[in-house]
Structure 1
Amino acid sequence: MDGSSSLARDRRAQQDAAANVPSLSTAIQRTSDWLLAHQHADGYWCAELEGDSILQSEYLLLLAWANREETETAKKLSKKLLSQQRADGSWAQYPEGKIDVSSSVKAYFALKLTGHQPSADYMVKARDAILEAGGADVVNSFTRLYLALLGQIPMEICPAVPPEMILLPNWFPLNIYRMSSWSRTIFIPLSICWALRPVVDRSEDCSIRELFIKPPEQWPELRCPGQENSGGLFTWERFFRTADATLKRIEKWRLRPLRKRALKACEQWILDRMPKSDGLGAIFPPILWSIIAFRALGYDDQHEAVQSCWNELDKLMIHDESDDTIRIQPCKSPVWDTTITLRALAAGRQGADVPRVRKSLDWLLSKEVRDKGDWTNNVRSEPGGWFFEFNNEFYPDLDDTAMALMALQEQLAEMGVTLEVHPGQSWENTTVLTTSNRIAVEDAIDRTMLLDKVSSATKRGLAWSADMQNHDGGWGAFDKNNDAEFLCKVPFADHNAMIDPSWPDLSARVIESFGLLGVNQHSRGKLGDVVRNAITYIRENQHFDGSWYGRWGVNYIYGTWQCLVGLVAVGIPTDDEMIQRGAAWLKGCQQQSGAWGETCDSYENPNLKGIGTPTPSQTAWALLGLLAAGEEESEAVRKGIQYLLRTQKEDGTWDEEPFTGTGFPRVFYLRYHYYRIYFPLLALATWAKKINPATEATR
C-alpha cells in the first residue's frame, strides 16, 4: 500500500471517529438517562463495591473453620478466587499491582482447603511465587491469625489482642476509642478469639508447610507498612513489642483476673452495635470475626446473633450466573452512590421536580443518623450526619455527611430553593435561612414539607460536622482527634489503619459543603472559625509541587481535585498561589490523550504521583479541580472534556478497569463501579454550566 492510500485511510478513520463523538448535551443526557434507569425502586443507587481476592479467601477460610468448605457456595467462591490468580501465579491488591504475599498465601490455603490439589499447575505456580517473595513467613498479622485459627501456626506467633483493653477508661492512652472505628470493630471480636482460642486444627489433613521458609517461631517481626524502625533508647515500637511479649507470658501463666469480666464486656459491646446496622461496623471483617467470637463464647449456629452475621455476609455476595461464581463485597455503598448520583443529576439539570429524583431525596433523608454512636466518646453534639451503607447507625462519617449535605442543597437549587446558613456565635442562634425563586402553588405544601426536612437535617449535619473538627483544623472520617500515631507501632497495626487522623481531601470536602450553604472564610462566629482553621490546615498540607495527598481516592489527583474545589467554595480566590500551584500540578500530569490516570502504587512510591492508566473517574476529578480553579477555557480542560466525550459509550457509560478507590493505603483498594459513570457526568455538566451553552466541546 502506498503512502497516499495509508494517509487517506487514516484520515477517514479520524473522520469516522469524530462523527461518533456525541455533543456535550447529548453526552450529559445519555448518562443522566442511564442513571435514572438504574435507580432502585426504593429511590437509591447502589453499585458493586469491588475489593481484591482476600474477600473470597477469607470467607472460604471461615467456611473451612465452620466445616462448610464442601458446600456449593464454597465451590463457587473458589472458582472466582482461582480466576483472580495472575499469570505469574500470585494474587495482588489491585489489577496492575505486584504480588501481595498475604493475599497469595490466603488464596493458596483457601484453594487447598476446598479440594484443589497442590500438584496442579496453578498451585505450583502460586507456591513458587509465594516462596520467591519471602514465603508465608512475611504475611501480615491478619493472615497469621487465620493460619493460627486453622492450626497452621501457634497462636503465640500472632500479635496479642487482649480483651481486657475494653475495660480501660477513656482517659487512658491505650483505650479502644483511640483506635480508628474500623480497627475497633475488628479488635473487639478478635480479642475474644485470641482469648478463647477456638482453633480448628487442619494441619494434619491440609498443611501449608510447603509455603514456610523458616519455622514460624523464626518469622520476622510485624510492622506497619511505611513505619520504619526508629533508633534511640526508648521507642514506641520497642515498648509495644515488650508489652506484647509480656502479655503472652501472662497468658501462658494464666494470670487473668479480669478475663471473665472483659469477655462479657466485649460480648455486650458487639451485641449493642448490631441493631440498626448491617452487622458490626457494617463491613466484612468484623462481621466475619463476630461469627467466630460468638461461637467461641458458646453460641450455637442457630443463635439469633450468629444467624444475623451469616445473613449479613450473604447480603454481600454477588452471584454471577455468567461464569457460575460468587464474589464478596467488603460492604455496600448506597448512601455514597446516591449522594454523588444526585449531585451529578443536579448538575445535569435533573432536579427534584423529576419524581424519581424526589423519591431518592426522601430515601436519603430517611438515612440521617439520629442516635448516638461511638463518636460521642469525644464529642458532645446532637446526633446528625449520614453513614455509608444501608444501615450503620453507630458510625456516621464526615465524607458521606458532606456529600449528603451538598446533594440536598444542589437538588433544592434545581427547584429554585436555596438554603443559606446565618452563622451565630453559638448553635442556638445559628439559623438556616430559606429563599425561593419559584414554587408552584399546587406543589407548595409538598415542597414546604421537603424543605422543612432538609432544613432540619442540614442544621444538624452542619453542627455535627463542625463539632467533629480535629484540633489541627482538619477532619478524620469517623472520630475526632483520633490521631495517636504511637498506636501505629503496635504489632497488630500492620493493616495501616490503626488511627483516623485529619486528611486534606476529606477536610476540603467538609468545607465545600459549608461553602454551598454560604459559610466561607469571611463568615463570623463559630462556623467562620471552623472554616478558617480548616483552610490553614489544608494550606499547610499542600506538597511542594502543588499537589495534595488523597486518603480516600487514588491518590494525588483525588486529593488535589478535592482541595481545589473545597478551598474555592469557601472563598479562596482562584489567583491565590495555593490554587494556582494545585491547578498547575494537575495540568502537568495530563496525558497526551487528554486524560488523567494514577496508579495505586503512588501510595508506596510518590514518584509515581499522577502517573498511571487513564481512567474516566480520575479524568473527571482533574477536570473538576481545574474548573474550580477557573480553568474552564484552558486547553487542558478542553482536551479532558474531549477525552470523556470521545470515550463515552452509546449507553452513556464509560469503561474503567483500574481501582481508583482507597480502603487502606498500601493494604486494600477498591473499585467503585459507578465512579466511571457519575463523576464523568458531574465533570461534563459542571463544564457545561461554566461555558456558553452553545459552545461545542469537540471544536
Structure 2
Amino acid sequence: MKKEELEIRFKELSNILLDELNDDGFWSGKLSSSALGVAVAVTALHFHNASIHQKEIKKGLEWLSLHQNGDGGYGDTPESPANISTSLLSYAALNLYAENNPEVKATQQKLADYLFTQNVDVRSDQVAQVILNHYQKDYTFSVPILTMCALCGIPGDDGFKHIPQLPFELALLPRRFYRLLNLSVVSYAIPALIAVGIVVFRKKKTNGLTRSIRAKAEKKALKILEQLLPESGGFLEAIPLTAFVALSLINAGLRDSVIVDKGIAFLKRTQRNDGSWPIDIDLSTWVTTLSIKALGERKNEVLPERQQKRIVNHLLSVQNKTIHPFNGTSPGGWGWTNFSGSVPDCDDTPGAILALLMLAPHHTIREEMLAGGEWLLQLQNNDGGFPTFSRGWGKLPFDQSCADLSGHCLLALAKLLDAYNSDLNAKQKKQYLTAINKAMAYLKKNQKENGSWLPLWFGNQHSKNHENPVYGTARVLTYLLKTKVVLKDEPVLLKKIEEMNSAGKNFLLNVQNIDGSWGGDSGIKGSIEETALAIAALSDVKWTAEIEKGFNWLNNYYQKNGLKKAPIGLYFASLWYDEKLYPLTAYLEAISLTSFRKEIIKS
C-alpha cells in the first residue's frame, strides 16, 4: 500500500472517529447486543411484574427469536458461535412464555435440540453437573445460571437441589479479609454472592449450624448490598449482574427492596430500541482513551485544541475522588465509563493517565496525575504484576495479575516519573522505580517460551482455550516500545526491554497468516483489531515486508467489509463482546505509529 493511500485512509478513518464523538465531547462507542443480557433482563422483568413490563418483555423475546443461530443455539454476540451457558439461560427465559406463545415455543424447541447436541438434557438433573464442570471452582457465573434455571422451572420443581450454596455471610467480614478467604466468586461479583446466595439459601432444603448462621446474616448482608448499589441502579453498569441480583432478591421475597426498584428501572432504561440489551451500558472511558492513543502524535492534525480541552475536562471529571464503595480503593483511579456503577480498575486508570499526559500541559493536571500514580502503586501485587480491581485477590483467574494490564501500568508509571520527576521527593522516586522494576520482572517471568503474553480481558473464540496471545503480545510490546523511550537513561531496564521485545516480535512474525493478517494465534482467521494491533507493535522493526503485507490485508478487508467488529472482548465471567470503536481505533493506531517511517510504506 502506497504512503499516499495510507494517508488518505488515515484522514478517512479520522473523520469517522470525529463523527463518533457524542454531544458531550467524548466517545461512548457501542457494545454488541447480548442474548445472555436479553435472557436475564427479560427474566428479571417477568418476576418483578410481567404485566407492567409486558412491552419490554415482548420486545426482548422477539429479539431472541430473530437472532437465534442456525444451529438453534445462542452465542454471546450475534456473531458468536453458540455456547451452552448463553443457550441455557435463553432456554430458561423462553420457558416462562413457551406454553402460551407458539413462536416462543418454536424458538425454545430449536434451542432444546441444540442443547441436546451438546449433551445437555434440559429435563434432567444433569444440567447442573454440566455447568459446574464447565466453570469448575469458580461459582461467579455457574451458580447464577443454575439459580435462574431453577427459578424458571429448569430442570423441574426441585432445581435447587444440586446448586452449591454461595457463602454470602462472608460479605459481613471487613473487606481487608476478603483476599485471605477462599471465595468462590471473583471480587467484582460480590453483589451476586449476596443476592444469589440469599435466594439459594431460602429455596434450598438444608439444616444445621450454617443455616442458623446464614439466617442471622441475611439482614446485614442486604445492608452491605445496598451500600454497594450505585445511583444508576446498575451494579458495574452491567445488565446481567444487575438482573441476576434483581431476580434473586424478588424470588427471595424482597421485591420491595430499593435494590430491586433501582435495578429494574436500570434494566428498563438500558433496553435498546430493537429489544436487546448489551452486557454493559458502555465503555466510554476506555474507548475515549483508546481514541487518543490511536491518534498518538498526530492528534493535533485531527482534534482542535477546543476539543482536546473538552476531553481533558471530561476525563478529569470522572476520576474517582473518594474511597470507592465497591472495591475499597483510594481516590485517584478511573473506571471504564462515566456512569455511577463504574469501578476504578488497572486498565482504565493507566489509559486515562496516558491520554491526559498527551492532551494537557503537565503542570495543570499535576495533582490528578500523581493521585492516579499513587492509586496504581497501591494496587500492585506482590508478584510485581497488576490485577484489575483488587490487590491480593489471586484465587480465581479474573482477579490475578495479568500481562496486558501490567504493561499498561508500567508505561503509565514510567511516563509519570518522567513528567513529574522534579516534583517527587527521593522516597517517591524510589517507589516509582521499585514498582517499574517489579512490573518489568513480572512481564519477563510471564512471557511464554515462544515470546508471547496472554491477556486477561481479551480472547479469540477460534483459538485454543479461547486465548489470544496475539492481542496480549501486541499490547505489551507497544507499551514496552513507549516505555523504552521514557527510560532511556536506565540501561539495565533497557536491556530487559530489548530482550522481551525481541522474543515478542519474533512470536508475532511467526504467527502472521499467509494473507498478511493476524488472528488470535497461529492459523486463526484474521481480524482488523488483531492485525492492526500487531502492526502497531511491530512499528519499530526492520521487517517492512511483513508490515506492508499486513497493511495490504487491512486495506482489502476494509474495502470489502468496512470496519467489521470482531468479538475479541471478554467481560463478566468470560462473556464475549465486540465494540464498535475497536477496529477503528486499532486501524488508526497502526497507521499513526508507522506513518513516520518512510521505509515501511512504498512511496
The answer for the alignment partner of 1:436 in structure 2 is none
Return the alpha-carbon distance in structure 2 between the equivalents of residues 266 and 506 of structure 1: 32
Q: Which of 449, 453, 458 is 1:548 aligned to?
A: 453
Shift of 1:471: 0.3
Shift of 1:150: 2.7
Contact 1:372–1:394 under 8 Å retained in 2: no
The answer for the alignment partner of 2:187 in structure 1 is 181
Q: Cα deviations across residues 143-170 of structure 1 (Å, max 9, x unaligned)?
A: 2111222343432221102332223454
Shift of 1:279: 2.1
What SS does the corresponding residue of 1:472 show, helix, strand or coil? coil
The answer for the alignment partner of 2:554 in structure 1 is 644
Unaligned runs of 5+ in 1: 1-17, 198-247, 420-450, 489-496, 599-608
Return the alpha-carbon distance in structure 1 between the equivalents of residues 320 and 412 of structure 2: 18
Shift of 1:277: 5.3
The answer for the alignment partner of 1:502 in structure 2 is 401
Structure 1, 581-590 or 279-288: larger mean CA deviation: 279-288
Shift of 1:579: 1.2
Amino acid at match of 1:184: I
Shift of 1:121: 5.7
Percent identical pairs in the alignment equals: 22
Contact 1:346–1:411 under 8 Å retained in 2: no
The answer as to 2:505 corresponding to 1:583 is yes
The answer as to 2:41 corresponding to 1:59 is yes
Return the alpha-carbon distance in structure 2 between the equivalents of residues 610 and 633 of structure 1: 18
The answer for the alignment partner of 2:23 in structure 1 is 41
What SS does the corresponding residue of 2:63 show, helix, strand or coil? helix
Structure 1, 679-688 or 179-188: larger mean CA deviation: 179-188
The answer as to 2:145 corresponding to 1:162 is no
Q: 1:292 to 1:23 in 2, by over 3 A?
A: same
Q: Which of 374, 383, 388 is 1:463 aligned to?
A: 374
Q: How does 1:85-104 map to 2 (within 5 A)?
A: 85-93=68-76, 99-104=82-87
Shift of 1:304: 4.8
Q: Cα deviations across residues 506-560 of structure 1 (Å, max 9, x unaligned)?
A: 101111222333559xx95111110111111111111111111111222111110
The answer for the alignment partner of 2:309 in structure 1 is 358
What SS does the corresponding residue of 1:679 show, helix, strand or coil? helix
Q: How does 1:284-323 map to 2 (within 5 A)?
A: 284-295=239-250, 300=255, 304-320=258-274
Contact 2:6–2:591 under 8 Å retained in 1: yes
Return the alpha-carbon distance in structure 2 between the equivalents of residues 504 and 118 of structure 1: 47
The answer for the alignment partner of 2:355 in structure 1 is 407
Structure 1, 653-662 or 38-47: larger mean CA deviation: 653-662
Q: How does 1:112-191 map to 2 (within 5 A)?
A: 112-115=95-98, 116-117=101-102, 122-135=107-120, 136=122, 137=127, 138-139=130-131, 140-151=142-153, 152=156, 153-169=158-174, 170-171=176-177, 175=181, 179-191=185-197
Q: 1:529 to 1:519 in 2, by over 3 A?
A: farther
Q: 1:273 to 1:183 in 2, by over 3 A?
A: closer
The answer for the alignment partner of 1:678 in structure 2 is 585
Return the alpha-carbon distance in structure 2 between the equivalents of residues 383 and 327 of structure 1: 31
Shift of 1:96: 6.6
Return the alpha-carbon distance in structure 2 between the equivalents of residues 374 and 119 of structure 1: 41
Return the alpha-carbon distance in structure 2 between the equivalents of residues 34 and 98 of structure 1: 29
Q: How does 1:254-653 map to 2 (within 5 A)?
A: 256-276=211-231, 279-295=234-250, 300=255, 304-320=258-274, 325-350=275-300, 353-373=304-324, 382-392=330-340, 395-412=343-360, 417=361, 419=362, 451-452=363-364, 454-484=365-395, 488=396, 499-519=398-418, 525-554=430-459, 555-571=468-484, 572=494, 576-598=498-520, 609-627=521-539, 630-631=540-541, 634-648=544-558
Structure 1, 579-588 or 368-377: larger mean CA deviation: 368-377
Contact 1:654–1:677 under 8 Å retained in 2: no
Scaled by the length of structure 1, what TM-score is found? 0.72
Greater helix percent: which structure?
2
Shift of 1:362: 0.8
What SS does the corresponding residue of 1:551 show, helix, strand or coil? coil
Return the alpha-carbon distance in structure 1 between the equivalents of residues 536 and 104 of structure 2: 52
The answer as to 2:558 corresponding to 1:659 is no
What SS does the corresponding residue of 1:383 show, helix, strand or coil? coil
Return the alpha-carbon distance in structure 1 between the equivalents of residues 24 and 212 of structure 2: 51
What SS does the corresponding residue of 2:447 show, helix, strand or coil? coil
Aligned length: 554
Return the alpha-carbon distance in structure 1 between the equivalents of residues 555 and 530 of structure 2: 15
Shift of 1:334: 0.9
Amino acid at match of 1:50: S
Contact 2:336–2:344 under 8 Å retained in 1: yes
The answer for the alignment partner of 2:56 in structure 1 is 73
Return the alpha-carbon distance in structure 1 between the equivalents of residues 104 and 15 of structure 2: 51
Shift of 1:171: 3.7
Q: Cα deviations across residues 645-684 of structure 1 (Å, max 9, x unaligned)?
A: 444459xx9432431112267x421111110111111111
Amino acid at match of 1:148: A
What SS does the corresponding residue of 1:78 show, helix, strand or coil? helix
Return the alpha-carbon distance in structure 1 between the equivalents of residues 386 and 277 of structure 2: 33
Q: 1:411 to 1:318 in 2, by over 3 A?
A: same
Shift of 1:300: 5.0
Q: 1:291 to 1:655 in 2, by over 3 A?
A: same
Amino acid at match of 2:30: E
Q: 1:117 to 1:461 in 2, by over 3 A?
A: same
For the pair shown, the structure with the greater C-alpha radius of gyration is 1
Structure 1, 368-377 or 167-176: larger mean CA deviation: 167-176
Amino acid at match of 1:658: A
Q: 1:545 to 1:319 in 2, by over 3 A?
A: same
Structure 1, 270-279 or 578-587: larger mean CA deviation: 270-279
Amino acid at match of 2:187: S
Contact 1:279–1:308 under 8 Å retained in 2: yes
Q: Which of 575, 579, 594 is 1:687 aligned to?
A: 594
Q: Cα deviations across residues 98-132 of structure 1 (Å, max 9, x unaligned)?
A: 54223222223323433443896654432222122
Q: 1:610 to 1:405 in 2, by over 3 A?
A: farther
Q: 1:40 to 1:50 in 2, by over 3 A?
A: same
Return the alpha-carbon distance in structure 2 between the equivalents of residues 479 and 172 of structure 1: 10
Structure 1, 131-140 or 61-70: larger mean CA deviation: 61-70
Return the alpha-carbon distance in structure 2 between the equivalents of residues 529 and 658 of structure 1: 38
Scaled by the length of structure 2, what TM-score is found? 0.83
Q: 1:96 to 1:150 in 2, by over 3 A?
A: closer
Q: 1:267 to 1:191 in 2, by over 3 A?
A: same
Shift of 1:90: 1.8
Return the alpha-carbon distance in structure 2 between the equivalents of residues 262 and 311 of structure 1: 27
